[in-house]
Structure 1
Amino acid sequence: MIKRMISFVRPLIPALCLSLLTGLAAESLQVIVAWFTGIIITTHFSWPDLWFILIVIVIGGICAFVEQYSGHYVAFKILATIRKLVYRKIQKLAPAGLDQKQSGDLLKTIGSDIEAMEIFYAHTIVPLFLGLIFLVGVSIIFALIAPIAGLIYLICGILIGIGLPLFKANKIADKNSELSKVQGQIQQDMFEAIRGRDILIQLDAVSKKLAAVRSNYQEEAIVSQQVGLLNWQKGWLKLIILIISWIITAAGLISFNYPLATVLPLLLAFPFAFKPVEALASLSDSLSKGFGAAKRVFALLDTPEPKSQNSGTLQIEQIQDLKIQNLNFSYPNRDVEVLKDVSLTLKQGQIGGIIGPSGSGKSTLVKLIMEWYPVSEDTISLNGTELNKIDHNSLWSQINYLTQEPQLFSDSIRQNLTLGDETFCDSDLWNILSEVQLTDLVKQLPKGLDEPLEALDLELSAGEAQRLALARALLHPSSFLILDEPTSNLDVLNEKIILYAIKKHYQGMVLMITHREESLSICDVVWKISNGQVKISR
């Protein structure tokens, strides 16, 4: 994994080298300022010496700025590359490859995990090399001036830069992993609470859901405190080691009768020489977070892509008929068959209905028709062509899929209908709204078609939202309309409006999935599904 992470750095090695060199210069100049301050104190003060120190300080500040700028430039460039890879991967995985993934975990991976990887690129690579170079280089320089100072600095540097990172490193890594899992669960709970807020309110379960979220937040706080305590212990150990080493160095220099002109500059420069080495002490915590985040990001990037999305190349202009023969299906990595020997036929102009209880395989059948998952040859065909030979983008362009929960966007009614297609004029939009009986509602709004849906959050009922989604489906031409439980959450009036609009205005082929007998009144043919098996009902 480390090799894979470093592979992203190769195109940016010049910037990384610049960061390392300027970082070395900035840290070295701080030690030089402290050293010359000791020399000035022990000898005599002169204005040229002061100007020299001021110039060194300015140069050091410039070097520090360049080091930070170039280091973060490398990090942000790499993170932009990783984001592009992740988003492209999500596009390739959707929809089947994301069908079984938790929304909270996915949000964490594409959000905070990618951000956490910045720790490795901006705060690990350069500080690691900088600390090691300083540890060796300063030990040699101090040893040339006073061997005891060089020896003590080397021992202290090893304790801080190598010993402390190993201090409870496994425990810190475990706690960071536990913290990441809790944070992922919190995001999942919040995501579910927001999407299911209406159901939670109806069932008076808001307090219980909030209690579960609070419990997770409390667990997060406990684990965060445990991680903080471990880092606090490391911080105190580092301070104790520095103080003891400084005292021993001072005592050693005095006992060996080194002149004050050597002792004072060494003692003043000694603490400043540890700053790059101190950064190594925090690497165990930052590395465990960065590696944990990288592991989850790479796991997403390595997720196998559904085979069906790369199989077909044939284009399809209009779906005239659907034929399913002897279809058997079980989800990947599962042994239980969801569908067993399913056969049915639907033609242009027909409205077909599939009824059955929850978990009987209705939605699975729809996903297979839309080529979310690969199917065996000669099982599903459109216009006499095997499904796996048809390009999936061409297929999806001919299908409108209306789910139980309408997908509306935080934008105006116009944008929710047109999805950015500027070829639709206002008359097209008003006509389609008339077909689903939403004209009066929209005309009453202050901005009409340009009214943002956020303003209607408390006014738009479930039925009106579903009718708006249906209007969008009717507005965008297709030859196959799939309805997955479109009226299960609606009252009788809204159900009748939607079914009437479909019956009267949709000219293509319709397949409706439902568990309500009343919704099948508009269907020309009905199949009943039970335990994955389909039988014609009427």
Structure 2
Amino acid sequence: MSSDTAARPSRARRTPFGRPRKDDGPRATFRQLLPYLAEHRAALILTAVLSVLGAVASLAVPLITRELITVVQRGGALGGLVGLVILLVVASALISGVQHYLLQRTGTSVVLSARTRLVRRMLGLPISEFDTRRVGDLVSRVGSDTTLLYAVLTQGLVDAIGGALIFIGSLIAMFLLDPVLLGLTATVIALSVVVVVVLSGRIRVASRRQQEKVGDLAAAVERAVSAVRTVRAAGATEREVAAIEQDARGAWTQGIRVAKVSALVVPIAGIALQASFLVVLGVGGARVAAGQTTIANLASFIIFLFLLVMPLGNAFGAVTSVNSALGALGRIEEIIGLPSEVELDAGIVPAPAIETTDALRFDDVVFRYPEKAHRTETEKAIADIAPDALPEHDRTVLHGVSFAVPRGRRTALVGPSGAGKSTILALIERFYDPTEGVVRLGGEDVRALDRGALRAQIGYVEQDAPVLAGTLRQNLTLATPDASDEQCVEVLRSVNLTEVLERNELGLDAPVGEDGVMLSGGERQRLAIARALLAAPPILLLDESTSSLDGLNEQLLREAIDAVAENRTLIVIAHRLSTVVDSDQIIVLDHGRVVGVGTHSELVGTVPLYRDLAKHQLLV
């Protein structure tokens, strides 16, 4: 099962005292951010051009101011110089407004691209990835983490282009005006840059940890809300609130750490500006008094100083936002970097096809769940600290399972809980691949088939009969979006759900609530079965499909399945043998092994386990 086997969890890093320390996780680099920006290169290029134009206008103002002071000192007419300054200021403001709109628009588009890409990858991951990941944390990555990418564009990244031009232009102009003052200014600024570089790494780590805590919080809320009735009934509301508050406080604590580090970065630009200004004012005043420079040059130098420090402040802000975004991007890229089902299939070499009249066939199938899906969270933590402290688990669920399912017949899988019945259906659907052996559909290794094409031939009703939030119609037509109203009504009638249609005037457009909460357990199960029946695939997999039904509805459902099962292959899992005694073939499983195959009457006489099951249910 190479496609689904996960690597052993990495060991946690340790403190000097030997205690495990939580890994900071994968960190994104700026290069990983570039693909998101490249999708919007046209808008970014236009924004960069506007930034350059704005920089040119800003650099021209001190030079014109210098000429104004010189003309005033000589007693000459100002002429059009004042008008030119006003024109430049207005043009700079207009350019800034257009640039702001483009940045906001592009930032929103980058978030959309990231969310679309992340959701597409997330929903295409192997099922084994969902066995160990919390839903709330995945939702947090789509919502909270992607939002931080917005700040990259709106808080100074693209402005850095114009800012760099202003910075370089100001340096050149200041060098030409007074190299001595420039040297003093550069010393102060260099010290501030060194401090920011040192702090930037801490911002990225703190931001990532904050996003992880936000993911923990989202997972805790999702857990409590999804089981709110159970929580209330158990009188555990206050305990759940306390647990969520603890996660919320953890997110708050990490947020405070980000704020503390950011608080050290933000004032640096102001300190650099004030220190530079005082140095220039003091030293520059002395140089004017000594006749080493002019008042006009000093005034122009001071304006260039402000222009120099302003993009520097923007750059410091960009460092904070970019490092925060890169921390979140690391969590996004962690998911995007996982191989999808399609990518995993590229490395599979399927077994040669065989000629057969069987619809499905298992040949010496061995299956064991990946270690990460098998171990509990406590066991994983122990394994991180002391990898040899835990004995190796026997994670094998199926042991050399072989059987054939005749085409157009009904096959039942029976056996005690944990025998491997649901795992067999999961292998047919290719939620997992066998560790050893082959699962065949029509004689062909299912790993040689496109998963979409494979699943289009199979209708699958899960044991817990999930219902999606939405309407009756949306649930029914999940696999058949073009089904007519008449077809939907007919299939609902076949599973005795006409009452659900009639109790709401919206009919097929009636909402079913989150997780189908507005339906009873039996109604949810029948709705899930109706969805599979509406698709009418050649193969139907029913996992405990009648477990929540009363006697009357069970009989009605059996009649509906009998009607739709004609000329179709059915594989049914049931604990109640009364629902499968008339099956064409019954396969008895125990501890992941096939211990008997035959009809009800044959198995009662030859397989002790089956006979015991039948006795307990008064069928013999």
* Alpha-carbon distance in structure 2 between the residues aligned to 1:308 and 1:458: 36
2:332 maps to 1:297: yes
Shift of 1:215: 1.5
In the other structure, the counterpart of 1:270 is 305
Say if 2:144 is the partner of 1:112.
yes
Secondary structure, aligned partner of 1:282: helix
Task: Report the CA distance between 1:327 and its aligned residue.
Answer: 1.0
The alpha-carbon deviation at position 30 of structure 1 amounts to: 3.8
Is the 8 Å Cα contact of residues 131 and 276 (structure 1) preserved in structure 2?
Answer: yes
What are the Cα deviations for residues 353-373 of structure 1, in whole angstroms up to 9, with x where unaligned? 333325x53332221111223
> Which deviates further from its counterpart, 9-18 or 324-333?
9-18
Name the CA shift for 1:455/1:130 in 2 (closer, same or farther; >3 Å): closer
Among 563, 571, 581, the alignment partner of 1:511 is 571
1:229 corresponds to which residue? 260
Once the two structures are TM-superposed, the CA of residue 303 in structure 1 deviates from its matched residue by 1.8
| TM-aligned CA deviation for residue 79 of structure 1 | 5.3
Structure 1 window deviating more from structure 2 (467-476 vs 254-263): it is: 254-263
Deviation digits for residues 444-473 of structure 1 (CA, Å, limit 9, x no counterpart):
312222323349966422221221221222
Aligned to 1:22: 50
**1:218 — aligned with what?**
249
String of CA shifts for 1:311-351, please: whole Å, max 9, x gaps.
67999xx9953222321112346773222112233333314
User: Structure 1 CA distance, aligned partners of 2:359 and 2:265?
Assistant: 70
Q: Aligned equivalents of 2:170 and 2:148: distance in 1?
A: 32
Distance in 1 (CA, whole Å) between partners of 2:218 and 2:251 is 12
SS in 2 for 1:279: helix
Using the TM superposition, name which of 175-184 and 419-428 deviates more: 419-428
Tell me the equivalent position of 1:382: 441
User: Letter of the aligned partner of 2:444 in structure 1?
Assistant: T
Match of 1:321 in 2: 359
Deviation larger for 322-331 or 346-355: 346-355
Residues 1:144 and 2:176 aligned together: yes
Q: Using the TM superposition, give the Cα deviation of residue 407 of structure 1 relative to its aligned residue in structure 2, in angstroms.
A: 3.6
* CA distance in 2: counterparts of 1:88 and 1:403, whole angstroms: 23
Q: How many residue pairs are counted as aligned between the two chains? A: 534
1:59 matched residue in structure 2: 91
Contact 1:327 / 1:339 at 8 angstroms: preserved in 2?
Answer: yes
Question: 1:312-351 alignment to 2 at 5 Å?
Answer: 321-332=359-370, 336-347=395-406, 348-351=408-411
Amino acid at match of 1:297: I
1:184 equivalent among 207, 215, 234: 215
Q: Is residue 186 of structure 2 the alignment partner of residue 154 of structure 1?
A: yes
Tell me how far apart the structure 2 counterparts of residues 259 and 221 of structure 1 sit (CA, whole Å). 54
Deviation larger for 73-82 or 199-208? 73-82
Deviation track 1:293-317 (CA, whole Å, cap 9, x = no partner) reads 33333333332344774567999xx
Deviation at 1:200, TM superposition (A): 3.0
1:122 CA drift (Å): 5.6
Is the contact between residue 350 and residue 524 of structure 1 (CA under 8 Å) also seen in structure 2? yes
What residue in structure 1 maps to residue 230 of structure 2?
199
Amino acid aligned to 1:341 = G
Bigger shift: 227-236 or 492-501? 492-501
Q: Answer yes or no: is the 8 Å Cα contact 2:51–2:161 preserved in 1.
A: no
Instruction: Give the SS at the match of 1:353.
Output: strand
Gap change, CA 1:409 and 1:459, over 3 Å in 2: closer
Stretch deviating more after TM superposition (230-239 or 329-338): 329-338
Identify if the C-alpha distance between structure 1 residues 207 and 405 changes in structure 2 by more than 3 Å, giving closer, same or farther.
farther
Aligned to 2:592: 532
Alpha-carbon separation, structure 1, partners of 2:527 and 2:420: 27
Q: Secondary structure at the match of 1:478?
A: coil
Q: 1:432 aligns with which of 480, 491, 496?
A: 491
Counterpart residue type for residue 242 of structure 2: A
C-alpha distance in 2 between matches for 1:284 and 1:518: 68
Q: Distance in 2 between matches of 1:242 and 1:455?
A: 56
1:473 aligns with 2:532: yes
Q: CA deviation at 1:89?
A: 3.4
Q: Helix, strand or coil for the counterpart of 1:323? A: strand
1:518 and 1:227 map into 2 onto residues whose CA distance is 62
- Stretch of structure 1 that moved more, 277-286 or 523-532: 523-532
> Are residue 445 (structure 1) and residue 504 (structure 2) matched?
yes
Deviation at 1:56, TM superposition (A): 0.7
**1: CA distance between counterparts of 2:442 and 2:205?**
56
Task: Give the alignment partner of residue 93 of structure 1, picking from 125, 139, 142.
Answer: 125
Q: Secondary structure at the match of 2:396?
A: coil
CA distance in 1, matches of 2:196, 2:442: 65
After superposition, the Cα gap between the structure-2 partners of 1:529 and 1:165, relative to the gap in structure 1 and judged at 3 Å, is farther
CA deviations over 1:157-178 (Å, ceiling 9, x no partner): 3334x22422433332221121
- Which residue pairs with 2:286 in the alignment? 255
Secondary structure of residue in 2 paired with 1:246: helix
How much has 1:183 moved relative to structure 2? 1.2
For the 8 Å contact 1:142–1:150, the answer to whether it is kept is yes
Distance in 2, matches of 1:327 and 1:250, equals: 84
Give the direction of change, closer, same or farther, for the CA distance of 1:466–1:56 in structure 2 (3 Å limit): same
The 1:80–1:457 alpha-carbon spacing in structure 2 relative to 1, beyond 3 Å, is: closer
- Identify the residue that residue 364 of structure 1 maps to in structure 2: 423
1:380 counterpart SS class: strand
Q: What is the RMSD of the two structures over their aligned residues, measured on CA atoms?
A: 3.8
Moved more, 35-44 or 384-393: 35-44
Matched, 1:242 2:273: yes
Matching residue's letter, 1:290: A
In the alignment, which of 432, 438, 454 is matched to residue 395 of structure 1? 454
SS at match of 1:256: helix
Structure 1 letter corresponding to 2:449 = I
Contact 2:466–2:528 (Cα < 8 Å) also in 1 = yes
Q: Is contact 1:445–1:451 with CA below 8 Å preserved after alignment?
A: yes
Distance of 1:74 and 1:237 partners within structure 2: 29
Q: Can you list the C-alpha shifts for 1:164-223, whole angstroms capped at 9, x where unaligned?
A: 422433332221121111111122223333333343344343433332222211211121
Distance 1:490 1:146, change over 3 A: farther
- Secondary structure of 2:473's aligned partner: helix
State the Cα deviation string for residues 258-289 of structure 1 (Å, max 9, x = none): 44333334334532431111122234432322
- 1:5 alignment counterpart: 33
CA contact (8 A) 2:525 2:548 kept: no
Q: Name the SS for the 1:346 alignment partner.
A: strand
Whichever residue aligns with residue 375 of structure 1, its letter is P
Q: In 2, distance between residues paired with 1:2 and 1:10?
A: 13
SS in structure 2 opposite 1:338?
strand
Mapping for residues 281-296 of structure 1, pairs under 5 Å: 281-296=316-331
Aligned equivalents of 2:78, 2:578: Cα separation in 1? 99
Match of 2:21 in 1: none
Whether the aligned pair in 1 keeps the contact of 2:205 and 2:327 (CA below 8 Å) is no
Paired-residue identity, %: 22
2-side partners of 1:118 and 1:182: how far apart? 20
Higher deviation after alignment, 460-469 or 510-519: 510-519
